[in-house]
A and B are shown apart, each in its own frame.
Chain A
């Protein structure tokens, strides 16, 4: 990043190639919308490109990158709430257009050999049902292995708030996924 900040444009290309899969996965998990994911991934890097001079070497580059991704995702999530409903069809599968409905009692019971894709969809749906800030916190913690300190920097809140967000997110996920838990 520092090379790019000094004007080395090849460094930007390298930075994009290295981080695109990571940012793509992160935004996918934030939004759960494949169409928007590519657009937003591109926008993250274009913002890096345009605002490189604001990057402070004191901040970890990945934290800065994640913060841009989180802010852009927050904007999309907010605008969806105001107007267009969240598109989760791809997560719910062809037979379930209303992902937040009560789970189908005829579906696989706990302990049964469950199709991995189906389980993946249920987890995706449960995470999509979380409040935005809980979702972003759990994605950063669980899937990006970010510390509470790093999450607090990305989300611009205290580490205590992160602790509470994650605990509440886990409580909500436990309720949503209870039938898939053994205990």
Chain B
């Protein structure tokens, strides 16, 4: 008898069983179920099916699974893979290149007459001072550098890294405590 229900009717009955219809829709289904044996049978069948599905219980998770997952996570990099010395060296190199470009530009501007500027194709290269080797810096110095160069790290989306956040917190804590 339930075969005469259309797909939309069945969708509504299924949603009614789940309590997902609006008040008006639910009332319409309720009154139809009361008036139409086919709807009543279909609803009863859905209820039986729902009870039948309770029979399926999955096996319990192994007791040590959670600890295994935690152990596996401990061996993985947290957030973005970062090497602080590499980040630092990259930032220093970028900053040195920018300073060199600005410095050369200013010197050319100050010492060269307007007409001669265009003739200077290759100004005397001036080597920037070598960036400090990150390996020689203390962790605190690197943290300070990170805080002073937040813009750089923001640009490179590094601030989502936990190590960076922790480093910044360390420096801020140290500053607020006056050490």
Partner among A6, A25, A182 whose Cβ is within 8 Å of the Cβ of B58: A25
Q: Which of B12-50 contact A (CB under 8 A)?
A: 13-15, 18, 20, 41, 44-46, 48-50
Residues in chain A near residue B106, CB distance under 8 A: none
Given contacts A17-B66, A42-B69, A120-B57, are A180 and B11 in contact (CB under 8 A)?
no
B175 at the interface (CB under 8 A from A): no
Q: Which of A116-157 contact B (CB under 8 A)?
A: 116, 119-120, 123-124, 127, 138, 141-143, 147-148
CA distance in complex: A6, B164 (Å): 11
A-binding segment of B73-81, B95-103, B141-149:
B73-81
B49 adjacent to A173 (CB under 8 Å): yes
CA distance in complex: A28, B55 (Å): 15
Cross-chain pair count, CB within 8 angstroms: 117
Chain B: CB-nearest residue to A122: B55
Residues in chain A near residue B56, CB distance under 8 A: 29, 120, 123-124, 127
CA distance in complex: A49, B79 (Å): 7
CA distance in complex: A4, B52 (Å): 40
Residues in chain B near residue A49, CB distance under 8 A: 73, 76, 78
Residues in chain B near residue A29, CB distance under 8 A: 56, 58
CA distance in complex: A171, B42 (Å): 10
B20 adjacent to A52 (CB under 8 Å): no
A12 at the interface (CB under 8 A from B): yes
B48 adjacent to A181 (CB under 8 Å): yes
Residues in chain B near residue A9, CB distance under 8 A: 78, 162
A46 at the interface (CB under 8 A from B): yes
- Among A20, A34, A124, A138, the one with the most B-chain Cβ atoms within 10 Å of its Cβ is A20
Q: In whole Å, how far is B162's beta carbon from the nearest beta carbon of chain A?
A: 5
A148 adjacent to B18 (CB under 8 Å): yes
- Residues 34-59 of A, flagged 1 when their CB comes within 8 A of B and 0 if not, give 10001001100110011011000000
Residues in chain B near residue A170, CB distance under 8 A: 10, 14, 46, 49
A167 adjacent to B7 (CB under 8 Å): yes
Residues in chain A near residue B52, CB distance under 8 A: 119, 123, 177, 180-181
Partner among B58, B66, B69, B70 whose Cβ is within 8 Å of the Cβ of A28: B58
Given contacts A181-B45, A183-B48, are A13 and B61 in contact (CB under 8 A)?
no
Q: Which of A23-37 contact B (CB under 8 A)?
A: 24-25, 28-29, 34
A71 at the interface (CB under 8 A from B): no
Residues in chain A near residue B120, CB distance under 8 A: none
B82 at the interface (CB under 8 A from A): no
B72 at the interface (CB under 8 A from A): yes
A38 adjacent to B65 (CB under 8 Å): yes
Given A50-B79, A182-B48, 20 more A-B residue pairs with CB atoms under 8 Å apart are A7-B162, A7-B165, A7-B169, A9-B78, A9-B162, A12-B70, A20-B69, A24-B60, A24-B61, A34-B59, A41-B61, A42-B68, A46-B76, A141-B18, A147-B20, A167-B7, A167-B13, A170-B49, A174-B49, A183-B41
